Amino acid sequence: MFDLEKIEETAALVHRYMPPTPQYAWPLLSARAGAEVWVKHENHTPIGAFKLRGGLAYLHDLTQRRSDLPGVIAATRGNHGQSIAYAARTMGVRAVIVVPHGNSAEKNEAMRALGAELVEHGHDFNAALDHAKDLAAARGLVMLPSFHPLLVRGVASYGLELLRHVPDLDTVYVPIGLGSGIVGTMSARDALGLKTEVVGVVAERAAAYALSYAAGEPVATNSADTMADGLAVRVPDADALAAIRAGASRVVTLSEAEIAAAIRAYFTDTHNLAEGAGAAALAALLQERDRMAGRKVGVILSGGNIDRPVYRKILAEEG
């Protein structure tokens, strides 16, 4: 966790490259949820996802420390990779991004458009991550993690924006991929001295963090096959898990149907695009509708990068 001065310093850096994103209380969403719902629109960043904040913080620090930087490499399902590609292009650094086979075609194209070399390898994120580590050693590239204190500090800037704008939120729901989003949100809450409850959200088909939260230690799963690719992690990060267990009230697990319903709700009630992970926080609130009745609640719309064929199918209620 970080003190307020450190988070503000990193937020100022992030805001050199992108403005703060909005947070809106949408009346139709509030009626649907039976609570006053504030949406933090991280789908409105220059890459359509919250990850950009962490990438900017990490690459800025790295370029300040390394004048001879040979290039960077990262593994991703898409949004972390877009973040690194965007930050690397901005700072004049070569970027190689490794994705699993079958990854989002549109996220892949976005990373290429940002100037990254794209490598496809493995059946899921963790297989891609192992290959990225091998390539880093073989090519002499700097391996960038998906969870790191600098990434968390960058991401904490959205929590700072939200909680300064709406400091009396009872609860904030945050999707968990590898953990930077929820840990950053808790860091901002604690730095501001607020009592806001933070609730993590995972997919039942990628439940590693829910299982680990309950067990008190990292629990890996054999697969992470969910439409919410931003949540598709099989192996939890031990440091992220420790922070989540220390600062989150609970972890909610979602069905694929609940995630799809929340994607449709965002379109119907706000006309915003939400990818699976981006809709997960709202899905969790709707699952806990009775528990949250009448309260003031925040949900993180963490990204809107959903492929058109997937979105079309969901809107048609085919899956």
Structural domains of the chain sorted by starting position, each given as residue range(s) with its CATH number in brackets:
4-50+149-315 (3.40.50.1100), 52-143 (3.40.50.1100)
Rg, Å, the chain Cα set: 18
Residue 114 has pLDDT above 90, yes or no: yes
Pairs from 209-217 (Cβ < 8 Å, separation ≥ 24): 209/176, 209/179, 209/233, 209/236, 209/241, 209/244, 209/251, 210/251, 210/252, 210/253, 212/236, 212/241, 213/241, 213/244, 213/245, 213/248, 213/250, 213/251, 214/251, 216/245, 217/241
Residue 105 has pLDDT above 70, yes or no: yes
Residue 319 has pLDDT above 70, yes or no: no
Its sign, for the CA torsion 74, 209, 200, 223, is positive
pLDDT for residue 183: 98
The torsion region of residue 102 among left (phi > 0), alpha (psi -120 to 50) and beta comes to: left
Contact 235, 217 (CB under 8 A): no
**Neighbour tally for 75: CB within 10 Å:** 29
What number is the average pLDDT over the span 235-261? 97
pLDDT for residue 145: 87
pLDDT for residue 1: 72
Query: How sure is the predictor about 67, in pLDDT bands with cuts at 50, 70 and 90?
Result: confident
Beta-sheet strand order (sheet of 72-75): 117-120, 95-99, 72-75, 142-143
pLDDT for residue 78: 81
> What is the value of pTM for the model shown?
0.95
pLDDT for residue 318: 66
Sort strands 72-75 and 95-99 into parallel, antiparallel or unpaired: parallel
Helices 180-191 and 4-17, packing angle to 10 deg: 120
pLDDT digits over 17-46, tens only? 999 999 999 999 999 999 999 999 999 999
Locate 165 and state its tokens.
């704008």
Locate 129 and state its tokens.
């991550």
pLDDT for residue 220: 92
E-strand stretches of the chain? 23-25, 36-41, 72-75, 95-99, 117-120, 142-143, 171-175, 197-203, 250-254, 296-301
The DSSP code for 119 is: E
Query: How sure is the predictor about 55, in pLDDT bands with cuts at 50, 70 and 90?
Result: very high
pLDDT for residue 317: 85
pLDDT digits over 177-215, tens only? 999 999 999 999 999 999 999 999 999 999 999 999 999
> What number of H helices and E strands is found in the chain?
13, 10
pLDDT digits over 135-168, tens only? 999 999 999 988 999 999 999 999 999 999 999 9
d(CA 189, CA 182): 11
d(CA 106, CA 95): 18
pLDDT for residue 36: 98
**Neighbour tally for 170: CB within 10 Å:** 15
